[in-house]
Structure 1
C-alpha cells in the first residue's frame, strides 16, 4: 500500500507512532521467547540428561516452529487480516509458556517450544509488514526499526528475568516458588507479555492495504483518517486509488506471485532470502542462546556469566537505538556495509582469542574437561564479543527487518516476507543446532566460520542490495 499516507510530508502522526509501537510488541515476545532458554540451558541438560546434539535440538526446535510460523503468517494475514494473525500469535506464546513451564520430559518440552516458535515466526512477519503499510516514507525506517528495538528489549527482559529467578533460587536447577525449579519459572514468566500483546493487538486498527485488498473501502478510508491522518475525503479517495493500482484485487496473493520467467523466483525475492540467511549465518544467536554457558565454559562463574549476558543485551538495546536514529539519515545499505565489516573484525578476534584457551583434563573419570582463558584473554573475548554485538545491533539486526518490510512490491509483500523470514528461521536453526557439536570440536573453527560469512555478507550487500531510503512502497519493483 502507499506509505505516503500522511497529511504532512515532514510529520509523522502520533497515532501512527502509537500503532507501530503496539505492533512491535510482537517483537518483544519474539526476543523474549528466543532468549528465555538461555538461562535454562544447563538446568535442562542436567534435568533430562541430554547429549550435546539433543541439547542443541531442544534449544533450536523453537526455530523450526518459527520457520513454520513465518511461512504461514503471510497467507494467513492476507486472508484473515493482520490483527487476527497477531492475536493468534499471542495465544501461541501463552500456550507455549505454560506448557514449557510444566514440561515433564524433553519430548513435550520440545513440542511446547515448537508451538512458541510458531508464534515467534508469525510475529517476525506481521510486525514489519504491518508497520511498513502504515508508515510514511520519510520515517518508515525508524518506525520499522521499532521491531528490532522490541526484539532486543525482549532479549534483555528474558535474560534479566532469568538472572533474577536463578539468583533468588540459588541456581537455575534449584527449587523456587511453590516447589517448581527456577528454570520452569523462567518459561512461565512469558505469559505476562503474551497476554499484554494479545490485548494490544485487539485494539489495533486493521491495515488499510489489507482492507483495500478485501474491497472494504469504507473501513480502509476510516483507517486512513484515524491512523494515518489524512484530513479530506479527496485525499482518502486518492490514496485508496493508489493502493488499488499496486495490487490486483481480482487475483489472490500466493506463492505464484513470487515467480517470474522459467518458474524461477524473482530477483527481489532472492535478495530478501539471502539477506535473511546472512543475518543468521554470522552467528549472532549463538551469543544470545548460549552466552551464559559459553562464558562459564571459559572460566567465569555462573553469576558472572548471567551478568555478562544481561550486560551484552543492554548494549544491544543501546546500539539499536543508534540504528533507529541513523537508518533514515544515512540509509540502509551503508549501515549494512559498516556492520558487515565490524562483525568480521569482532568474530575474527573471538576466533583468535579462543585459540589461546587452555584445556585441563577432567578431575574425575568421565567428567568434562575444564576450559579457561589465560590472564587478559578473557577481557579480550568480552571486548570482541561486544564489538560483534555493536556491529550487528546497529546494522544487520534492525536494517534487515526494515528492508524485508519495505523492499517487496505491494502485490506480494506479506507472502514474500513470509518466505524470506522462513529462510531466516531455517538458517537460525542450522546455526543454533550445529553450535554445541561444533564448539566441542573447536570454538576457533566455529567463530572462524561465522567471520567468513560476515565477509561474504559485505560482498553480497555491495553487489546486490538496492537502497530504499525515502522511496514510496509503490515504487518497489520485482
Structure 2
C-alpha cells in the first residue's frame, strides 16, 4: 500500500511542534553522549597527576567510556525491540547519572575507568535509541532535519562540556587545584553531568513510544494515537503499510542481518563502513585531546581551552548548516563534499606537523604563521566534518535499514563506530609519543581520502523515501 506524503505539506503547526518536541527529548541522549565523551578533555593531565598514572592507563581512562559505548550500542537494538525505545532511554539516563557521581569521586585510576565504562554503556544505548526513535517518529520530508537534531545535541553537549571545563579550570586556576568545597576542579567537571542525566530521564517519561515499535508489538490503537499527532488524516492504510514491513514471525535478532549466500547483508556492511570512517578521520582526537594537542605546539593551558571552545562553536554552527540543507541537497552530496574538504585540511595538518622543528620535549614547535595555518586547518577540518559526516551518518543510520532490521542493524553499526572511536582515541597518545603528530594526521588523511571513494561507489541516496521504502 502507498501513502500520499503530499499531505504533509498541510501538516498543522501543532503537529510539527509535537514532532520537534519528542525528537528534541530523544536527542537529549545525544547531548549526554557528547557531554560525557568530551568532559574528560580538560581533566586529562589532572587525572594523570592525581593518580600518577602511566600513559597507557591515561589512554584507558580517556577511552574506557568508548568500550562501554560499544557494548551498550551492540545490545541496544535487542533491548529496544524487546522492552521498547522509552525504557532503554531510562536505563541510559540512570547509567549517566551513576557514572557522573562515580567519576567525580573515584579512589583509584582503576575504579575511575570502571565508572567511565558505565557511562559509556549509557552513551552506547543513547547512540542507538535516539536516531532510531527519531527516524521512526518523523515524516519522510522532515526526517533528515529531525535526525540531524541528534548530531546537534551531540555537538552542543561537547561544547557545553568544554565550556564547563574552561570555566571550572579558570575559576580554580588549574584543573588540579581545589575548587568548591575543597574538591579538586577536575572532579567537578564530571559531577556537572548529573543534572542533564536527570533531565533526560524526566524527558523520556513524557514522550510517546515509537509507533513502529507499537505496531510490531500488535498495539495498533496506541500506534494510531501517536501517528495521528504526527501525520494526521486517515491512518488505517498507514498502519497496515507499516505492519507489512514489520511482520517477521519472531523477535528481531542478529541472524536477521545475514543473507543466505554472502554473510552480512550489503546494507549492513555499508552502515558499518560509514560508522568506521566517521571515526577513522580522527575527529575525536580534536575533541578528546585538543587541549593537550595545542599545548604540545606552544599554546598555554588557558589559550588551548579557549581554542577548544571556539572549535566547539564551529561544530555547532556547521551542524545547523546540515540541518538546513540535508533534506534539500540530500545525504550523498553533503558526505562527498565533506570528504574532499577533510582530505585537504587533514593533509595540510599532516604536512605542517610533520615538517615542524621539534622542541626539547620532542613536540613540534609551530611558531608565527605556521601555528596560525595549523589552527585554521584544524578548524576548517571541523567545519567540513560538521556539515557532513558528523550529522549525515547518524541520519543515514537511523533511516537506511528497513523496519525489520533497523534497531539490530543500527546496533551493529553503532558498535563498530564506538570500537573505531576507541581505537583512534587509544592509539593517539602512543602515536604522538612514538611517531609524532605528522604521522598520526597522515593516517587520518588516508582515511578521509578513502571516504571519498566509499561515498561515490557504495552510498545510496535516501532523501525523500519513507522508512517503508528502504
TM-score (norm 2): 0.97
After superposition, where does 1:342-353 map in structure 2 within 5 Å?
Answer: 342-353=341-352
> Is 1:54 aligned with 2:48?
no
Query: Hey, what does 1:230 align to over in structure 2?
Result: 232
After superposition, where does 1:10-49 map in structure 2 within 5 Å?
Answer: 11=11, 13-49=16-52
**CA displacement 1:381-415 (0-9 Å, x = unmatched):** 11010010000000000000000000001100000
Query: Hey, what does 2:139 align to over in structure 1?
Result: 136
| Aligned equivalents of 1:294, 1:334: Cα separation in 2 | 32
Query: Hey, what does 2:394 align to over in structure 1?
Result: 401
Which of residues 150, 158, 174 is equivalent to 1:171? Answer: 174
| Aligned equivalents of 1:333, 1:382: Cα separation in 2 | 28
Which of residues 444, 450, 455 is equivalent to 2:449? Answer: 455
**CA displacement 1:59-116 (0-9 Å, x = unmatched):** 0010000001101111001011100110110000000000000011100000000000
> Is 1:265 aligned with 2:259?
no
> Is 1:276 aligned with 2:269?
no
| Aligned equivalents of 2:339, 2:364: Cα separation in 1 | 30
| Aligned equivalents of 2:195, 2:100: Cα separation in 1 | 9
**CA displacement 1:258-283 (0-9 Å, x = unmatched):** 00023600000000000000000000
Which of residues 372, 377, 383 is equivalent to 1:384? Answer: 377
Q: Secondary structure at the match of 2:275?
A: helix
Q: Which runs of 5+ in 1 are unaligned?
A: 362-367
**CA displacement 1:149-174 (0-9 Å, x = unmatched):** 00000000000001111111110000
Q: Secondary structure at the match of 2:8?
A: coil
Q: Which runs of 4+ in 1 moved over 3 A?
A: 1-7, 9-12, 368-371
| Aligned equivalents of 1:96, 1:273: Cα separation in 2 | 28
| Aligned equivalents of 2:134, 2:297: Cα separation in 1 | 42
Conservation of the 8 A alpha-carbon contact between 1:356 and 1:373:
no
**CA displacement 1:319-349 (0-9 Å, x = unmatched):** 0000111100111000000000000111011
For structure 1, which segment, 349-358 or 373-382, has the greater mean C-alpha deviation from structure 2 after superposition?
349-358
| Aligned equivalents of 1:126, 1:5: Cα separation in 2 | 25
Q: Structure 1 residues 263, 466: closer, same or farther in 2, change over 3 A?
A: closer
Q: Secondary structure at the match of 2:127?
A: helix
Query: Hey, what does 1:8 align to over in structure 2?
Result: 8
| Aligned equivalents of 1:24, 1:5: Cα separation in 2 | 25
After superposition, where does 1:145-184 map in structure 2 within 5 Å?
Answer: 145-184=148-187
Aligned-residue RMSD, C-alpha: 1.6
**CA displacement 1:357-397 (0-9 Å, x = unmatched):** 33232xxxxxx456521321110111010010000000000
For structure 1, which segment, 446-455 or 242-251, has the greater mean C-alpha deviation from structure 2 after superposition?
242-251
| Aligned equivalents of 1:63, 1:154: Cα separation in 2 | 16
For structure 1, which segment, 216-225 or 407-416, has the greater mean C-alpha deviation from structure 2 after superposition?
216-225
> Is 1:410 aligned with 2:390?
no
For structure 1, which segment, 140-149 or 350-359, has the greater mean C-alpha deviation from structure 2 after superposition?
350-359
| Aligned equivalents of 2:148, 2:92: Cα separation in 1 | 20
> Is 1:424 aligned with 2:417?
yes
Q: Structure 1 residues 183, 448: closer, same or farther in 2, change over 3 A?
A: same
Query: Hey, what does 1:313 align to over in structure 2?
Result: 312
| Aligned equivalents of 2:79, 2:9: Cα separation in 1 | 33
Which of residues 86, 92, 115 is equivalent to 1:83? Answer: 86
> Is 1:186 aligned with 2:189?
yes
TM-score (norm 1): 0.95
Q: Structure 1 residues 468, 288: closer, same or farther in 2, change over 3 A?
A: same
| Aligned equivalents of 2:367, 2:298: Cα separation in 1 | 10
> Is 1:372 aligned with 2:371?
no
Q: Which runs of 5+ in 2 are unaligned?
A: none
> Is 1:95 aligned with 2:122?
no
Conservation of the 8 A alpha-carbon contact between 1:6 and 1:229:
no
Conservation of the 8 A alpha-carbon contact between 1:2 and 1:133:
no
| Aligned equivalents of 1:408, 1:200: Cα separation in 2 | 27
| Aligned equivalents of 2:3, 2:113: Cα separation in 1 | 40
Q: Secondary structure at the match of 2:264?
A: coil
Conservation of the 8 A alpha-carbon contact between 1:213 and 1:244:
yes
Which of residues 453, 462, 465 is equivalent to 1:468? Answer: 462
Q: Secondary structure at the match of 2:358?
A: strand
Q: Structure 1 residues 4, 249: closer, same or farther in 2, change over 3 A?
A: farther
Q: How far is 1:2 from its partner?
A: 9.7
